[in-house]
């Protein structure tokens, strides 16, 4: 974090031909008020000190005994390093002591309360603001309606998205799909007229950071594009854990503001049957794997007796083989563990999902695509001076033992191949489960993660493979990849499992017309 912020300030000074102090003030003025923690942090950038040297000087970065010195930039010569580390290089050395007293970013004034909220959400994976306890919220972030359909009455726990309508919603909207009341022409409730027998169903994602749609905006660290507008979305990003589920491949429902376009399984199900409005749940977490999904799954909100069936996408596409450990292979999920974890999750779903639901198991990705298409390209931090490639970034993160995937983000081709081999073994486990296991309340299907088809489709559209990868972390699918993946998944389902998608509702146009007449949204 320190290396990132210091790098941006140094590049701002270079780009605007200003002093470092002026560049620091410029960045502080870009960032919304209570997030300006860097004012407490930066005190000693000057001369030719690169970000690594500054952060080690501040003791925000350290070298543990017996461990290598981790650096993003080429290290200065030893004699130069001693000169740069001398106290005369610093602006305000006393600030060093005050900063190192903070144990984490959450110790900063104004952020402690927000951090407590985020810790609650991270611990429980439930909406922070949920007055009636039905696991749905009227607040967007902190696991609110960006993650689950928006509640339409947060004071009544029997009103929430996805439930079967109470008395056909003649008097009020009990399932939040916007369809309620009685047609004065014939006295029939609109919900009964338009949605009875329409195969209404929700969509649920059980996934990882790819499913939650992890994204760090590149304009946060690309000084040639940076302005106050660049950080306008920082509060939303921070309180959504740097995830953007509202634009994601499975549960996206808002027009993308982070590039590309939004296309999702939820939007397509909604277009197919307008009665499915708001029936979505994105139960994903950064670092999600088949193992920790067993606790995450308990935040599912589905009542077997009162709610509509659901399509559940089980997609932990990488973290069972991805970790930041030096001996990464030893920490990967084994096929036996994968079988046990997934079967436990499916048994839990069978106890919670209404009859007539569907589960789609998604195979793991072949992450060799990442190194092959990014390693020699410049990272956003390195574009101004052409001094940081993705290969350097991956090595830096690996040295710190915080790499999102030591097995794939490495120059070691043998290790990359072994990681993909394990991923293929785990995908085979999922395929076998879909072929052999039966459950009372849902049928089960398998599909490969459609990376190859996505790349081919993007190539036909004139795109480059690297554009399918998030530019800042160099690891996750980009917004373009998410939208294209939706199209490919939908076509597969239409041709191979049409029963999963349900039939098209012939009353969709009438529902939209009714909505407009009532001033709906």
Beta carbons within 8 Å of 276's beta carbon, 6+ residues apart: 177, 200, 201, 202, 203, 266, 269, 270
Helix or strand holding residue 235 (H, E): helix 234-239
Q: Give the angle 328-333-336 at the CA atoms, nearest 5°.
A: 145
Residue with tokens 């998604």: 362
487 annotated active-site: no
Q: Sheet of 357-362: strands edge to edge?
A: 280-284, 202-207, 310-315, 357-362, 442-447
The dihedral region occupied by 199, where left means phi > 0, alpha psi between -120 and 50, and beta the remainder, is: left
Determine which one of 7, 89, 174, 209 is catalytic. 209
Q: Is 227 exposed, middle or buried (0-12, 13-18, 19+ CB in 10 A)?
A: exposed
Residue with tokens 């299907």: 445
Our measurement of the distance from residue 40's CA atom to the centroid of its chain's CA atoms, rounded to an integer in Å, reads 29
Give the whole-angstrom CA distance, residue 414 versus residue 391.
16
Residue 122: both structure tokens together: 């991270």
Which SS3 state, helix, strand or coil, does residue 30 take? helix
Residue 323: both structure tokens together: 């970790």
Give the whole-angstrom CA distance, residue 511 versus residue 3.
53
In Å, how far are 95, 157, 285 from 139, measured between CA atoms? Answer: 38, 16, 19
Give the whole-angstrom CA distance, residue 490 versus residue 325.
36
Q: Which residues are catalytic?
A: 209
């Amino acid at each position: 974090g320190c290396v990132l912020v210091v790098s941006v300030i140094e590049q701002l000074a270079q780009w605007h031909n200003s002093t470092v102090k002026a560049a620091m003030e410029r960045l502080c003025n870009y960032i919304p008020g209570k997030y300006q923690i860097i004012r407490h942090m930066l005190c000693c950038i000057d001369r030719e000190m690169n970000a690594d040297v500054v952060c080690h000087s501040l003791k925000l970065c350290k070298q543990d005994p017996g461990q290598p010195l981790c650096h993003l930039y080429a290290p200065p010569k030893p004699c130069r390093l001693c000169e740069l580390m001398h106290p005369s290089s610093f602006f305000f050395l006393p600030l060093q002591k005050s900063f190192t007293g903070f144990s984490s970013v959450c110790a900063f004034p104004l952020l402690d309360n927000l951090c407590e909220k985020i810790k609650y959400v991270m611990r429980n994976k439930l909406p922070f603001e949920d007055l009636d306890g039905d696991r749905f919220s009227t607040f967007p972030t902190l696991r609110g309606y960006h993650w689950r359909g928006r509640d339409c009455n947060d004071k009544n726990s029997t009103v929430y998205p996805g439930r079967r309508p109470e008395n056909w919603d003649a008097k009020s909207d009990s399932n939040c799909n916007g369809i309620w009341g009685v047609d004065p022409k014939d006295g029939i409730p609109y919900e009964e007229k338009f949605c009875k027998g329409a195969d209404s169903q929700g969509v649920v994602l059980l996934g990882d950071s790819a499913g939650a749609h992890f994204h760090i905006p590149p304009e946060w660290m690309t000084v040639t594009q940076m302005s106050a507008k660049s950080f306008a979305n920082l509060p939303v990003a921070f309180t959504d854990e740097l995830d953007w589920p509202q634009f994601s491949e499975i549960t996206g429902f808002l027009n993308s503001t982070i590039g590309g376009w939004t296309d999702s399984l939820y939007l397509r199900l909604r277009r197919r049957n307008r009665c499915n409005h708001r029936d979505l749940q994105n139960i994903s977490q950064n670092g999600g794997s088949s193992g920790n999904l067993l606790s995450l799954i308990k935040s599912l909100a589905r009542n077997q007796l009162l709610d509509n069936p659901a399509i559940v996408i089980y997609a932990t596409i990488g973290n069972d083989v991805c970790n930041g450990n030096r001996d990464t292979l030893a920490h990967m999920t084994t096929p036996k563990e994968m079988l046990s974890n997934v079967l436990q999750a499916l048994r839990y779903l069978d106890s919670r999902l209404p009859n007539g639901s569907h589960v789609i198991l998604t195979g793991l990705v072949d992450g060799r695509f990442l190194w092959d298409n990014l390693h020699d390209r410049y990272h956003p931090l390195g574009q101004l001076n052409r001094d940081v490639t993705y290969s350097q970034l991956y090595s830096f993160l690996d040295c710190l033992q915080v790499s999102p995937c030591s097995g794939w983000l490495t120059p070691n081709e043998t290790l990359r191949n072994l990681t993909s081999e394990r991923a293929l073994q785990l995908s085979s486990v999922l395929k076998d489960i879909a072929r052999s296991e039966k459950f009372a309340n849902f049928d089960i299907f398998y599909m490969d993660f459609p990376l190859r088809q996505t790349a081919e489709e993007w190539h036909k559209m004139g795109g480059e493979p690297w554009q399918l990868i998030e530019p800042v972390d160099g690891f996750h699918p980009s917004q373009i990849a998410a939208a294209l993946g939706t199209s490919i998944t939908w076509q597969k389902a239409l041709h191979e499992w049409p029963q999963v998608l349900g039939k098209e509702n012939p009353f969709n146009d009438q529902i939209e017309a009714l909505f407009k007449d009532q001033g709906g949204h």
